[in-house]
Amino acid sequence: MIKLPSIQSLIQQTASILKRFPLTVICAVLMSTSLIYLTHNHWDLKESNQFFWAKLSLCSALGLSLFLATALLSEAKGHSLNGKIAVQVITFGVILAYYFSIDSYEEFNLESFSRFSLYIIASHLFVAFAPFTGPNRINGFWQFNKTLFFRSLLSALYTCVLYGGIAIAFWLIDDLLHVEIKYTKYAYVWYLLAGVLNTLIFLAGVPKDMAEQEIDTSYPKGLKAFTQFVLLPLVTLYLLILYAYFAKIVIHWNLPKGYVSYLVISFSVMGILSLLLIYPLRDMEENKWIKIFSRWFYVALYPLIVLLGISIYHRISEYGITEHRYFILALAVWLVFIAAYFLISKKENIKLIPVTLFAFAILTSAGPTGAFSVSHQSQKNRLEKLLVQNGILVNGRIVKTTKSITDSDQANIGSILHYLEEAHALKLLQPWFNRDIDSMNGSSIYYSAAPDSLCKIMGIVYEPYNYYYSSRNYNTNNHHNTSFSLTSNASYYRATLNIKGYDYYTDFSYRQYNSEQSDFDTSRSNEYFITGKDSIFFIPYKAPCKFALVKQRKTIAVMDLYNYISNLHTSADSANGLYSISVPEDKFVYDAKGSDSSVYHFRFKSVEVNTVNSKYTIQYIDAIILSKHL
């Protein structure tokens, strides 16, 4: 019979947790409170008050694991009360420094959240090894982290089950009793359960006696079975696949696909995790295969690391370093080090894995070795080389060019400026310009104004997606999208529409999803419109701007709009831009005569056209169709 804990025992256990980890619990409460406040006020972070709560929520989340790690460190080292206080004050200082590093709402960007993610990862890794910073004690380290792993699963299970039950109760109250419960209440409950309850359940199971962990030799049988019969077979399968792909590359001498680097890293992480899970069993007589498998796993990593290196080197040499390439390269270096260590060292100190990953997260988060600093500088250097080669950057200053530059160079310059603008790093280029780059703010419907203004100063054209198209062998100078739209005073905007002389009226829209068929396919599901009792399917040919009108699987008309679109381009007013052309109502029509004596009168509202080397392909049509039978 299961004996449920009494209220008194729960209170005593909670008090024990508060006494042992007070600052961790306070961080959990602050984090939940901050998130509830922000949700209640609709996350309007531009307001200074909410900006404070947003920063507080980030710092509280960081403090959860940092205060836990330093508390465990003090316990393991046997610090006095004053020593413990000193350690926690230092920890608070680190969190406070992070708080003041976020100066404005605009800093809540990808770089800021990526850096925060690295800090969270580092703080969790610190928890893993904080009580075992001294030499040896490998078994205690493994047993401690095993306990934390299972405790985290248990606390997550309790939290999710309880939240699911409360959420269903809320829904039943709302649906059956008609007592309205706003969606925010669901969020509030989740914040409290995931933030406070989950933390308390987890902390209740954190081991106290680290010396006891060292002499503990217990091992969960289920974990061995899961690792031996699930994880390791999967690792072996992925190893065979990657080696087969490696052999294919060697035979055909092709560069590896870009995503192969993620596969190699995923395989490596899964393999290392598997070996960590069965680490205590390696010295048992019946488990000698573990040492053999471990050694050959790290040997097998090297050809795959070479494959990863070739993949990332090709992209870095061609396009420079970006954040994700930086992290892949850094992880490749880490894998080389770890594989070498476990092949050479006889101690096989598994503590080295979280310790080196902790250092990796800190070093790559900020400063001159940070992913963002290195990436921004790499792209600046790449841009500098392009500008010098084309005579645009002379003696460290921008000179407006009067010469034409290659499509490839112009595309790359535009893409680098776009990247730096997205990364809020255009300020790096300030020494090259007389005008303040920060003053070039604002944006158009298509792109930010600052890179466009910089390109005008250089004497070149800026199109932010040229780089995307140049990588697919398009002529970037001759590639763009054009949107034709009806003038604002057109009759279809009015309350009434004259349809005299026609039998039927319908609204119609078409968007291209696939144009790879050699001919149109009447069995394919396509856009259609209805005239009376008939459904008329609008089916594209592979030929650009050509469509079939199909009724009852028979083609009744063919619309070849290529010359029509070409004429619209030609007759466009010179004041119209490259991207948006306004068309008068009388010119924005097209008649298709059917073989069944029907007429389909298209009154276009808007048409989007993709242009490559002066060849058109219709991407989107929005129209009114009037139809009649002669």
pLDDT digits (tens, 9 = 90+) for 455-494: 888 988 776 544 444 444 434 445 566 777 776 545 444 4
Mean local confidence (pLDDT), 331-339: 93
Given a cut of 80, whether residue 3 has pLDDT beyond it is: no
pLDDT at residue 203, as a whole number: 96
Distance CA 21, CA 273 (A): 29
Q: Show the tokens assigned to 115.
A: 């850096």
Distance CA 628, CA 505 (A): 9
Given a cut of 60, whether residue 550 has pLDDT beyond it is: yes
Residue with tokens 């306990």: 147
Mean local confidence (pLDDT), 10-25: 93
Mean local confidence (pLDDT), 271-275: 90
- Name the percent of the chain lying above pLDDT 70: 88
Residue with tokens 């072996």: 236
Segment among 124-133, 201-210, 606-615 with least mean pLDDT? 606-615
pLDDT at residue 56, as a whole number: 95
Contact 324, 311 (CB under 8 A): no
Segment among 48-62, 92-106, 392-406, 467-481 with least mean pLDDT? 467-481
Given a cut of 90, whether residue 307 has pLDDT beyond it is: no
Q: Show the tokens assigned to 491.
A: 């009759």
Q: Is 143 exposed, middle or buried (0-12, 13-18, 19+ CB in 10 A)?
A: buried
pLDDT band at 608 (very low <50, low <70, confident <90, very high): confident
Helix (H) or strand (E) holding 412: helix 407-422
Q: What is the pLDDT of residues 279-290, one digit of tens each?
A: 888 878 777 888
User: Regarding predicted confidence, which is higher, 544 or 367?
Assistant: 367
Q: What is the pLDDT of residues 150-192, one digit of tens each?
A: 999 999 999 999 999 999 999 999 889 888 898 899 999 999 9
Rg (CA), the chain: 32
Q: What is the pLDDT of residues 68-87, one digit of tens each?
A: 999 999 999 999 999 999 99
Q: What is the pLDDT of residues 502-535, one digit of tens each?
A: 988 888 988 875 544 445 544 444 678 888 888 8
Instruction: Rounding to the nearest 10 degrees, give the CA dihedral for residues 307, 309, 314, 320.
Output: 150
pLDDT at residue 293, as a whole number: 87
Given a cut of 80, whether residue 46 has pLDDT beyond it is: no
pLDDT at residue 452, as a whole number: 81
Mean pLDDT estimate for the chain? 84
pLDDT at residue 80, as a whole number: 94
Residue with tokens 């449920």: 4
Distance CA 372, CA 326 (A): 9
pLDDT at residue 575, as a whole number: 42
Segment among 51-60, 345-354, 519-528, 555-564 with least mean pLDDT? 519-528
Distance CA 219, CA 450 (A): 60
Given a cut of 70, whether residue 13 has pLDDT beyond it is: yes
Segment among 135-149, 378-392, 447-461, 588-602 with least mean pLDDT? 447-461
Distance of CA 626 to the CA centre of its chain: 45
501 SS3 class: coil
